[in-house]
Homo-oligomer: A and B are copies of this chain.
Amino acid sequence: MRPVSRVRRLAAIAALTLVGGALVSAQPVSGRRRVSLVVTGGIVVTQNAARQVLNPGAIAVDGRDIVAVDTPESIGARFTAGETIDARGQIVLPGLINTHTHAPMVMYRGLADDLALMDWLQKYIFPAEAKTVSPEMVRIGTRLAVLEMIESGTTTYADMYYFEEEIAKATREAGLRGVLGQTIIQFPVADAKTPAEALARAEVYIKTFKNDPLIVPAVAPHALYTLDQESLLASVALARKYDVPIIIHLAETRDEVDVARTEHKATPVGYLESIGFWGPRTLAAHGVWVADEDIEVLKRRQVGIAHNPESNMKLASGAAPVVKYLAAGVAVGLGTDGAASNNDLDMFEAMRQAAFLAKIVNRDPTAVPAQAALDMATIGGARALNMEAAIGSVEPGKRADLITVSTSASRHTPLYEAISHLVYVARGDDVRTTIVHGKVLMKDRQVRTLNRASVIADAQKLSDSVRRAIR
């Protein structure tokens, strides 16, 4: 087979592929080194700085880390592996990074659709949450969500919900990587009656998970319209005290812009800038209604954006200025948002929607090409989470967070261009293997870290109480 790549770049990529040695870590080789895992024979989409594609390629993993990326012959000559994954007929790429969701909300998936936002929240979601959010619901919902994520190729996700310590425990048990934010909100919710109580809970949670290899604890002030200035700043202070990320909803709807104008005589970005909220470890979800001058603020403050095209379309929130963000150098990741508003956690669909939405709203078919969509779902998401040194591409020294995608479906035939298929044809069900931190969580669609049947049975049982809650 010849290298699969964008046709007009064939020659350039072919030339790059020949210098595979340049991709390998500097470690001197004498005899065959024993490593824990080799993935070999697939089309390796590295997402490194050169966006190199190896066809075929192979990856050597030792423990948590990628140690080499090269041709199958070279990897085979230099390494012996405890476990080998044959990726022939598959595309191998960095695990996808979902930069915004509310994992346990899979329990409310499809509960109510096609409603105005306030009807949806006030008649269905808030009543369901008031009656059903508990540590047990969060555990059961998170297990279902991480099962779906492992099965659809997400290896890292950013979350904001209640009882976040339960989410962290379930995520760690399943072996997934998470940036998981404890919600701070002004009104009483299931896990805290006041912002102060939520902050105290967040502090305990941060201390518990601060040095976890998979979990990055975070503080998640919900939004500027659900928190007063004191609580926003207390959230920032707590995050800075422990050097953990902050996650906030930003300018998702036009209503939020109106609130900021009326109450603070500023844009949402401008108001948060005026109180000293922004910092380099802040992730802002949505960022739909953001003016050009505010994009400059976000760039200057190194804020990451979690773009949620499906949720923004389904709830008719609007279209984030993604092309402008990217042009300004703002780090943009992709998110699915919670499954109550999407209705699934499939990051392949998020990629496709990011491309489709940008094209239609900009009236430009060249906007957000496939490579840009894939970038947002991988290295862009890593940058938005300040984790690009560890994840987001297949490179020696980074964590071994990898997925393999089957191209055997009739809809993947023929295959001229791997990146095109990943964005415009693939879906989560095509994922065969999911590896996080060097550990194989799913192989040949068999999830190893969760009891699939009991996860689904628990969720189905719990769904009866959700149904009753909205009667």
User: Which residue in chain B gives the minimum CB-CB distance to A447?
Assistant: B410
CB distance from A398 to the nearest CB of B (A): 28
A370: B residues at CB distance < 8 A? 113-114
A7: B residues at CB distance < 8 A? 111-112, 124, 467, 470
Contact A314 B365 (CB under 8 A): yes
Contact A425 B116 (CB under 8 A): no
CB-CB under 8 A for A427 and B424, given A316-B362, A416-B467, A459-B413: no
Interface 9-residue window, one of A43-51, A217-225, A226-234, A340-348: A340-348
A192: B residues at CB distance < 8 A? none
Contact B455 A410 (CB under 8 A): yes
Tell me if A381 counts as interface (CB < 8 A to partner B).
no
Give A47-105 interface residues, CB cut-off 8 Å to B.
Answer: none
Contact string against B for A residues 448-465, beta-carbon threshold 8 Å, 1 for contact and 0 otherwise: 000010011001101100
* Bound-complex Cα distance A369 to B318 (A): 17
Contact B316 A424 (CB under 8 A): no
Tell me if A236 counts as interface (CB < 8 A to partner B).
no
* Bound-complex Cα distance A415 to B466 (A): 11
User: Which residue in chain B gives the minimum CB-CB distance to A254?
Assistant: B363
Q: Residue among A147, A148, A414 with the most chain B CB within 10 A? A: A414
* Bound-complex Cα distance A370 to B115 (A): 11
Contact B116 A424 (CB under 8 A): no
* Bound-complex Cα distance A329 to B120 (A): 28
Contact string against B for A residues 355-367, beta-carbon threshold 8 Å, 1 for contact and 0 otherwise: 1110111111111
| A147: contacting residue among B113, B319, B410, CB under 8 A | B410
* Bound-complex Cα distance A17 to B188 (A): 41
| A151: contacting residue among B120, B410, B414, B425, CB under 8 A | B410
Contact B359 A109 (CB under 8 A): no
Q: How large is the interface on A (under 10, 10 to 19, 20 to 34, 35 or more residues)?
A: 35 or more
Tell me if A21 counts as interface (CB < 8 A to partner B).
no
Contact A409 B424 (CB under 8 A): no
Give A290-331 interface residues, CB cut-off 8 Å to B.
Answer: 310, 312-316, 318-319
* Bound-complex Cα distance A314 to B361 (A): 11
CB distance from A258 to the nearest CB of B (A): 15
Q: Residue among A124, A316, A367, A455 with the most chain B CB within 10 A? A: A316
Tell me if A389 counts as interface (CB < 8 A to partner B).
no
Contact B413 A144 (CB under 8 A): yes
Contact B416 A110 (CB under 8 A): yes
| A345: contacting residue among B124, B147, B411, B420, CB under 8 A | B411
CB distance from A140 to the nearest CB of B (A): 10
Contact A316 B467 (CB under 8 A): no
Contact A312 B360 (CB under 8 A): yes
Tell me if A429 counts as interface (CB < 8 A to partner B).
yes
A310: B residues at CB distance < 8 A? 356
CB-CB under 8 A for A425 and B110, given A366-B116, A410-B456: yes
Tell me if A107 counts as interface (CB < 8 A to partner B).
yes
Contact A460 B316 (CB under 8 A): no
Contact B114 A414 (CB under 8 A): no
CB distance from A114 to the nearest CB of B (A): 4
A417: B residues at CB distance < 8 A? 110-111, 113
Tell me if A152 counts as interface (CB < 8 A to partner B).
yes
* Bound-complex Cα distance A144 to B411 (A): 8
User: Which residue in chain B gives the minimum CB-CB distance to A364?
Assistant: B316
Contact string against B for A residues 254-292, beta-carbon threshold 8 Å, 1 for contact and 0 otherwise: 000000000000000000000000000000000000000
In the assembled complex, 16 residue pairs joining A and B whose CB atoms fall closer than 8 Å, in A order, are: A109-B425, A113-B420, A114-B370, A116-B365, A144-B413, A151-B410, A312-B360, A313-B357, A314-B355, A314-B424, A360-B360, A410-B456, A411-B428, A413-B460, A416-B463, A427-B429
Shortest Cβ-Cβ A-B pairs, 9 listed: A414-B463, A114-B369, A110-B420, A313-B356, A343-B424, A344-B411, A316-B365, A148-B410, A316-B359
Which of A's residues lie within 8 Å of B, judged by CB? Answer: 7, 106-107, 109-117, 120, 124, 144, 147-148, 151-152, 310, 312-316, 318-319, 339, 342-346, 353, 355-357, 359-367, 369-370, 409-411, 413-417, 420-421, 424-425, 427-429, 452, 455-456, 459-460, 462-463, 466-467, 470
Extra 6 A-B pairs, beta carbons < 8 Å, given A114-B365, A117-B365, A151-B410: A7-B467, A110-B425, A152-B411, A314-B359, A413-B463, A427-B429
